[in-house]
Structure 1
Amino acid sequence: MSEAAEIEALDLAALLCSRVCHDIISPVGAINNGLEVLDEENNEEMKAFAFDLIRKSARQASAKLQFARLAFGAAGSSGAEIDLGDAEKVARGWMDGEKAEFSWSAPQALMAKNRVKLLLNLVLLAVAAVPRGGHIKVTVSGAPSSPDFTFLCTGPNARIPAAFEKLVPGNLVDVHLDAHAVQPYYTGLLARACRMDVAAVLEGSDIVITAKSRPQD
């Protein structure tokens, strides 16, 4: 990965907060809409629809917040480790609301916080690689101290996300960094902090995203 610029810490914090708000505003808004229906409707069928909407949206909002806590939040003290089982759980919760099917293969292990955060952020980029749905297969291999991550993304119109060209390497020239673009940029920051090299390639009609640990000095 090429040498990259970094934005100010306060700007990064603000953009990540905006990203989280962007992700949960839709299910929270749907909960509010369902409550309004319950307040205004006497029709039992409409009330049943509203309850279903509230339940579904509450589950979705909870899943997105749990994912964001690990992918963007502190999730423990400096140097903390996170169980890969917890990472799988929040990733599956997030993917329940996406078009693509999802599979996960990883050892039962604790892994350094930033590596887990990188893994989860790469899930989001894998989703962007199959915008019309399909299948995402996540494989974690190697020792927890020097892991490799592989994402096989299969689906119609699978493509390398545009974010890879500039935002993951951290090239901010002629780039407007907003709440959407900050996520791939943050992925690149995590990769560099973890000394892992991230790449995306087209293999036939599939997209393969990898994050490989650099050899220890």
Structure 2
Amino acid sequence: MTTPIDLDKLDLAALLCSRVCHDVISPVGAIVNGLEVLDDEDDPAMKAFALDLIAKSAKQASARLQFARLAFGAAGSAGAQIDTSEAEKVARGFIEDDRTRLSWGLPRVLAPKNKVKLLLNLLIVATSTIPRGGHMSVEATGEGDEGGLRLMTEGGYSRIPPHLVELLNGGAPEGGALDAHAIQPHYTGLLARATGYGFDLVHEGERVTIRVERV
């Protein structure tokens, strides 16, 4: 039986901020390290390495912040709509790297803000099912604002992480406390329930399928 989480709004805000900081602190730290190398080194090869590190890390930090702005931020007034092409752009910047590819099968439309936020958070959830990278796809099921979503991931060591389904459904993880890692699937569940959607996760071989439909 799922034990519901009764989370204070201030705690929710604090944990989401911690999650965003966790995502950007690594590339920002790499930028700082690169600047220190530029200050301390006279070797041209080391300076070139530092400049490359700074450029790549700045791009990564920017991509993660742009993603967080849509996935966790206000992104416009209440009732606002977001172009799904913007969601695709930030999703590719956040997810795609030398280990993970994203196939985007959604049409370009103006979609309700919270549904786009749900989609982006589902993509984060989907990345947790392929810890060593792989292929991820997202497509629409049904039509219009009432339609659902289907996300599929394929990769070695694919899995449904422990407590993920429980967290998506608003339940408490083992120990009963949320941290900056667990808050993201919990928040995804909050978005789903606020927009009238439910989840179904299936793991078969090296594939995980996440279906999101109206309830």
**1:213 is aligned to 2:186:** no
Q: For residue 125 of structure 1, report the CA deviation from its aligned partner.
A: 0.8
TM-score, normalization: structure 1?
0.93
Aligned partner of residue 140 in structure 2, secondary structure: strand
Q: For residue 97 of structure 1, report the CA deviation from its aligned partner.
A: 4.2
Q: For residue 4 of structure 1, report the CA deviation from its aligned partner.
A: 4.1
Supply the distance in 1 between the matched residues of 2:163 and 2:209 (Cα, whole angstroms). 15
Report what 1:39 is aligned to: 39
Q: For residue 147 of structure 1, report the CA deviation from its aligned partner.
A: 2.1
Q: For residue 140 of structure 1, report the CA deviation from its aligned partner.
A: 2.1
In structure 2, the gaps of 5 or more residues are none
Quick one: structure 1 residues 58 and 105, their matched pair in 2 at CA, closer, same or farther if it must change by over 3 Å?
same
Aligned partner of residue 68 in structure 1, secondary structure: helix
Report what 1:118 is aligned to: 118
Report what 1:140 is aligned to: 140
Stretch of structure 1 that moved more, 96-105 or 182-191: 96-105
Q: For residue 160 of structure 1, report the CA deviation from its aligned partner.
A: 1.1
Report what 2:184 is aligned to: 183
AA of the residue aligned to 2:140:
V
**1:70 is aligned to 2:70:** yes
Supply the distance in 2 between the matched residues of 1:100 and 1:175 (Cα, whole angstroms). 32
Residues 1-217 of structure 1 aligned to structure 2 (within 5 Å): 4-97=4-97, 99-172=99-172, 174-214=175-215
Quick one: structure 1 residues 209 and 154, their matched pair in 2 at CA, closer, same or farther if it must change by over 3 Å?
same
Supply the distance in 2 between the matched residues of 1:6 and 1:84 (Cα, whole angstroms). 32
In structure 1, the gaps of 5 or more residues are none
- Alpha carbons 1:106, 1:141 under 8 Å: kept: no
Supply the distance in 1 between the matched residues of 2:183 and 2:19 (Cα, whole angstroms). 8
Aligned partner of residue 121 in structure 1, secondary structure: helix
Q: For residue 98 of structure 1, report the CA deviation from its aligned partner.
A: 6.8
Supply the distance in 2 between the matched residues of 1:125 and 1:133 (Cα, whole angstroms). 13
Q: For residue 102 of structure 1, report the CA deviation from its aligned partner.
A: 1.1
Supply the distance in 2 between the matched residues of 1:40 and 1:145 (Cα, whole angstroms). 55
Supply the distance in 2 between the matched residues of 1:155 and 1:33 (Cα, whole angstroms). 33
Between Structure 1 and Structure 2, how many residues are aligned? 213
